[in-house]
């Protein structure tokens, strides 16, 4: 890992592993993007900035400064001064004039990585490879009195580049930030594809690949959360790039609110990637002396297709983003009562489930929605977090005590950010809900969103959650969020500051989860948002796992988990076995397949175990044992995508390999049975080619090279939706 300034070339060079990122300054003031890619080890690459070609640089050809601005590969593009592509920064001055141009002033190279105050971000971790370095480039717009510090960080054990920006008003007048994105990446890529993740409720994070084309293509959210529909990620894939080959440039946003991720191909065939807070509905008032920090963008370059990008992100998030003590700990196998009972439960019903579950090896009972006063359906009581003692006779301490006597832990569901119109909280504080005065607030799932820009609301919400957790030994919290924002107004922020609400809301959310994880450091926190609507790197900083989707059907989960595992370690994906017919799609799949698919994540059950036939209860016992055996591999191993059902419409297959290559697990889902076919040959990945491996179920031996370059035969299985999980152990 190295960050250096090459004086003779006037270039900054960041290098880690096989990656290099180069920045140049032309005319002494314009900060340009020179190179990002495979390490070249030759700093004489400033010519990539094309300063010797028309329109040249402004010092040589002042009369064509506009053409320069519109073609130059900016490191941090600004609005209104000649660059007509979409930009990172747009500022309005007190007189209402818009326009911004940042000039380079100086740099610092720091050991380590500064925090981004109040926001999640990657961090240096003590120990081998955990150290990092940061380059700070200070730029200024003298007319506005605005200072911008562009930060680039790298870690010794990662090839990712982390970017963020701090904007400081050092002038005398108030400034209005109309756009404050985090990063742009200008590059020469004339042909390729754009890859994004998208979908809907119960269909989150499906991979969407389309050709790059002239103009702008973007995904975004202005729903107040990262959302089911789009994901704060994009990648461009060079021509011919695929799972294991070709160039990929990716950007991933460490943020949980509105975002934009955009690719623009301009008139010269150059490509600009942009990522940051969505400017839609955003305006930040920056008074003299104040600063604004953008959330972090993680950039990844891979010269070995999506697979290497995935490995870089998984290792980065495990090594430098997830803080929970559960990061390397086995998560308890849990049973959640949501699909088992919905709102119709009481202490006795929960204990019945717990008794049966504990007999089968399940280690935690999670009580989902419906435990607090007045909550008999989803139409009321959010905000009134008092245990309903009619349902839970003896209160929470009794229930938790009884569950603990069974040797199980206890978890509880909250939806802290919400308030129901039919609640004591709303009746007492109608102004605490996000709303536009004079308009009837828009309901969604019969609820409103609390205004987390308001400090007293944040305090109330915190105490509501914390006092329940203080009242009984609860070891897990599922933090849910079941609606997106509309009529985004705050009676607290007042006139002129409404454009800050979306971002201030996210800051309020982060402060809540920060307080919670500090007061309850041993708590296993799982974030959730109406399924997987807030599965993003920001949430991962607070919770080591996030609920992937309300769709627990094993076949539907294939595409959801493929898209999710493209970016996130398997240990981060909440995945449960549920009852059939599946509650979302009505499909019936084998119990074993449901187990195989859920075992690719933080594993658990979501069904009424008391109603299962004995045969399925026995399968649960075996699945729990298997999960115990496999968890070190699933938690720490390298994930490989072998085949994608979403792509081939035939079968799905993934593999996890131990870091030391001592074992590998292949999960294969046949999906539909086909007549008159022979076995299917699958090529494994990531093994030691010289080592000897043994297939666990039949004792057959292979050299790693044989498994990888030749393959292994997957026998055809009878029936639809059949699957297999096969382990290969290194024996020599």
Residue 550 or 638 with smaller CB distance to ligand DGJ: 550
Shortest distance (Å) from residue 445 CB to ligand DGJ: 8
The token pair that represents 229 in the structure block: 């529909």
Residue 429 or 483 with smaller CB distance to ligand DGJ: 483
Stretch that binds ligand DGJ, among 110-118, 254-262, 421-429, 524-532 (CB under 6 A): 524-532
Residues 616-635 contacting ligand DGJ, CB under 6 A:
none
Stretch that binds ligand DGJ, among 94-102, 461-469, 527-535, 561-569 (CB under 6 A): 527-535
Stretch that binds ligand DGJ, among 161-169, 217-225, 526-534, 627-635 (CB under 6 A): 526-534
Query: Residues 32, 120, 531, 544: which binds ligand DGJ (CB under 6 A)?
Result: 531
Q: Tell me which of 230, 550, 553, 608 is the catalytic residue.
A: 550
Q: Does 413 participate in binding ligand DGJ (rule CB under 6 A)? A: yes
192 in Cβ contact with 236 (< 8 Å):
yes
Residue 531 or 604 with smaller CB distance to ligand DGJ: 531
Residue 147 or 375 with smaller CB distance to ligand DGJ: 375
603: region left, alpha or beta (phi > 0 left; psi from -120 to 50 alpha): beta
Shortest distance (Å) from residue 343 CB to ligand DGJ: 9
The token pair that represents 543 in the structure block: 């919770």
Among the listed residues 549, 478, 568, 559, the one whose alpha carbon sits nearest the alpha carbon of residue 516: 478
Q: How many residues bind ligand DGJ (CB under 6 A)?
A: 12
Q: What is the dihedral of CA 175, 176, 177, 179, to 10 degrees?
A: -140
Q: Is 531 exposed, middle or buried (0-12, 13-18, 19+ CB in 10 A)?
A: buried
Residue 528 or 624 with smaller CB distance to ligand DGJ: 528
The helix/strand/coil state of 353 is helix
Compute the distance between CA of residue 207 and CA of residue 205 in angstroms, rounded to an integer: 6
Shortest distance (Å) from residue 560 CB to ligand DGJ: 13
Sign of CA dihedral 395, 401, 406, 412: positive
Residue 301 or 476 with smaller CB distance to ligand DGJ: 476
Query: Residues 384, 550, 608, 616: which binds ligand DGJ (CB under 6 A)?
Result: 550
550 is catalytic: yes
90 in Cβ contact with 101 (< 8 Å):
no
Q: Tell me which of 83, 141, 368, 480 is the catalytic residue.
A: 480
42 is catalytic: no
Residue 180 or 485 with smaller CB distance to ligand DGJ: 485
Q: Does 417 participate in binding ligand DGJ (rule CB under 6 A)? A: no
Compute the distance between CA of residue 15 and CA of residue 75 in angstroms, rounded to an integer: 17
Residues 454-483, mask of contacts with ligand DGJ (x by CB under 6 A): --------------------------x-x-
Q: Does 547 participate in binding ligand DGJ (rule CB under 6 A)? A: yes
Compute the distance between CA of residue 417 and CA of residue 452 in angstroms, rounded to an integer: 8
Shortest distance (Å) from residue 192 CB to ligand DGJ: 36
User: Which string of DSSP letters, residue by residue, matches 121-181?
Assistant: -----SSTT--EEEEEEEEEETTTTEEEEEEEEEETT---EEEEEEEEE-SSS-EEEEEEE
Shortest distance (Å) from residue 627 CB to ligand DGJ: 20
Give the pairing type, strands 175-188 and 284-286. antiparallel
Among the listed residues 79, 87, 102, the one whose alpha carbon sits nearest the alpha carbon of residue 30: 102
322 in Cβ contact with 572 (< 8 Å):
yes
729 in Cβ contact with 694 (< 8 Å):
yes
Residue 259 or 547 with smaller CB distance to ligand DGJ: 547
Q: Does 338 participate in binding ligand DGJ (rule CB under 6 A)? A: yes
Compute the distance between CA of residue 605 and CA of residue 196 in angstroms, rounded to an integer: 30
The token pair that represents 56 in the structure block: 């040249």
55 in Cβ contact with 164 (< 8 Å):
no
Among the listed residues 532, 423, 523, 417, the one whose alpha carbon sits nearest the alpha carbon of residue 475: 523
Helix axes 395-405, 455-471, angle to 10 degrees: 50
Among the listed residues 409, 413, 412, 414, the one whose alpha carbon sits nearest the alpha carbon of residue 330: 409
Residue 298 or 528 with smaller CB distance to ligand DGJ: 528
Shortest distance (Å) from residue 354 CB to ligand DGJ: 18
Residues 340-399 contacting ligand DGJ, CB under 6 A:
368-369, 378
Residues 557-616 contacting ligand DGJ, CB under 6 A:
none
Quote the Cα angle for 546-331-557, to 5°.
45
Query: Residues 347, 530, 578, 593: which binds ligand DGJ (CB under 6 A)?
Result: 530
Q: What is the DSSP letter of 53?
A: S
Stretch that binds ligand DGJ, among 424-432, 523-531, 620-628, 717-725 (CB under 6 A): 523-531
Compute the distance between CA of residue 407 and CA of residue 422 in angstroms, rounded to an integer: 38
Q: Does 423 participate in binding ligand DGJ (rule CB under 6 A)? A: no
Shortest distance (Å) from residue 394 CB to ligand DGJ: 24
Shortest distance (Å) from residue 616 CB to ligand DGJ: 21
Shortest distance (Å) from residue 478 CB to ligand DGJ: 6
Helix axes 501-519, 455-471, angle to 10 degrees: 30
Shortest distance (Å) from residue 578 CB to ligand DGJ: 10
Q: Which residue is nearest to ligand DGJ (CB)?
A: 369
Residue 482 or 655 with smaller CB distance to ligand DGJ: 482
Q: Catalytic residue positions?
A: 480, 550
Q: Which spans of this chain sit near ligand DGJ (rule: CB under 6 A)?
A: 338, 368-369, 378, 413, 480, 482, 528, 530-531, 547, 550
């Amino acid at each position: 890992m190295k960050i250096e300034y090459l004086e003779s070339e006037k270039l900054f060079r960041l290098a880690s592993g096989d990656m290099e990122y180069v920045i140049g300054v032309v005319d002494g003031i314009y900060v340009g993007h020179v190179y990002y890619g495979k390490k070249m080890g030759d700093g004489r690459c400033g010519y990539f900035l094309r300063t010797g070609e028309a329109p040249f640089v402004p010092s040589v050809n002042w009369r064509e400064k506009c053409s320069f601005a519109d073609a130059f590969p900016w490191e941090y593009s600004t609005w209104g001064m000649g660059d007509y592509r979409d930009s990172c920064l747009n500022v309005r001055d007190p007189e209402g004039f818009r326009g911004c141009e940042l000039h380079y002033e100086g740099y610092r190279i720091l050991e380590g990585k500064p925090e981004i105050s109040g926001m999640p971000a990657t961090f240096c971790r003590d120990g081998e490879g955990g150290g990092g370095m940061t380059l700070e480039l200070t730029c200024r717009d003298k007319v506005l009195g605005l200072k911008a510090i562009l930060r680039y960080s790298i870690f010794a054990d990662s090839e990712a580049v982390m970017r963020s920006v701090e904007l400081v008003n050092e002038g005398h007048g108030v400034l209005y930030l109309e756009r404050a994105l985090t990063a742009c990446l200008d590059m020469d890529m004339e042909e390729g594809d754009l890859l994004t993740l998208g979908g809907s409720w119960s269909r989150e994070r499906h991979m969407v690949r389309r050709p790059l084309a002239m103009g702008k293509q973007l995904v975004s959210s202005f729903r107040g959360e990262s959302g089911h529909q789009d994901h704060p990620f994009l990648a461009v894939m060079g021509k011919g790039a695929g799972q294991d080959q070709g160039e990929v440039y990716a950007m991933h946003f460490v943020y949980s609110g509105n975002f934009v991720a955009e690719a623009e191909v301009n008139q010269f065939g150059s490509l600009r990637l942009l990522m940051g807070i969505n400017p839609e509905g955003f305006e930040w008032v920056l008074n003299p002396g104040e600063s604004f920090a953008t959330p972090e963008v993680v950039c990844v370059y891979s010269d070995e297709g999506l697979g290497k990008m995935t490995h870089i992100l998984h290792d980065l998030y495990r090594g430098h983003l997830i803080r929970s003590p559960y990061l390397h700990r086995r998560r308890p196998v849990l049973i959640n009562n949501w699909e088992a009972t919905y709102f119709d439960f009481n202490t006795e019903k929960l204990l019945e489930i717990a008794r049966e579950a504990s007999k089968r090896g399940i280690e935690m009972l999670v009580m989902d929605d419906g435990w607090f006063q007045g909550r008999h359906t989803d139409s009321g009581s959010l905000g009134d977090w008092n245990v309903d003692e009619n349902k839970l006779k003896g209160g929470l301490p009794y229930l938790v005590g009884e569950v603990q006597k069974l040797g199980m832990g206890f978890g509880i569901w909250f939806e802290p950010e919400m308030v129901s119109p039919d609640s004591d909280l709303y009746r007492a504080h109608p102004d605490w809900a996000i709303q536009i005065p004079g308009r009837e607030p828009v309901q969604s799932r019969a609820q409103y969103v609390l205004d987390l820009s308001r400090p007293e609301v944040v305090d109330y919400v915190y105490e509501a959650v914390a006092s329940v957790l203080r009242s009984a030994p609860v070891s897990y919290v599922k933090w849910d969020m079941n609606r997106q924002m509309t009529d985004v107004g705050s009676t607290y922020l007042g006139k002129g500051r409404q454009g800050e609400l979306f971002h201030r809301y996210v800051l309020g959310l982060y402060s809540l989860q920060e307080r919670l994880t500090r007061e309850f450091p041993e708590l296993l926190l799982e974030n959730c948002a109406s399924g997987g609507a807030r599965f993003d790197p920001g949430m991962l900083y607070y919770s080591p796992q996030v609920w992937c989707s309300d769709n627990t059907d094993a076949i539907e989960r294939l595409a959801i988990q493929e898209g999710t595992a493209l970016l996130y370690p398997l240990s981060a994906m909440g995945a449960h076995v549920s009852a059939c017919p599946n509650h979302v799609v009505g499909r019936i799949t084998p119990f074993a397949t449901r187990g195989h698919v859920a075992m690719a994540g933080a594993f658990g059950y979501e069904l009424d175990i008391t109603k299962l036939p004995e045969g399925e209860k026995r399968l649960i016992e075996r699945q729990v044992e298997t999960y115990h055996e496999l968890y070190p591999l699933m938690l720490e191993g390298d994930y490989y995508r072998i085949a994608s059902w979403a792509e081939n419409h035939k079968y799905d297959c993934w593999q996890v390999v131990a870091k030391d290559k001592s074992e590998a697990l292949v999960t294969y889902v046949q999906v539909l049975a086909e007549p008159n076919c022979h076995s299917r040959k699958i090529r494994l990945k990531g093994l030691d080619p010289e080592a000897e491996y043994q297939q666990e179920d039949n004792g057959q031996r292979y050299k790693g090279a044989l498994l990888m370059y030749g393959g292994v035969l997957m026998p055809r299985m009878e029936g639809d939706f059949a699957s297999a999980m096969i382990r290969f152990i290194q024996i020599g």
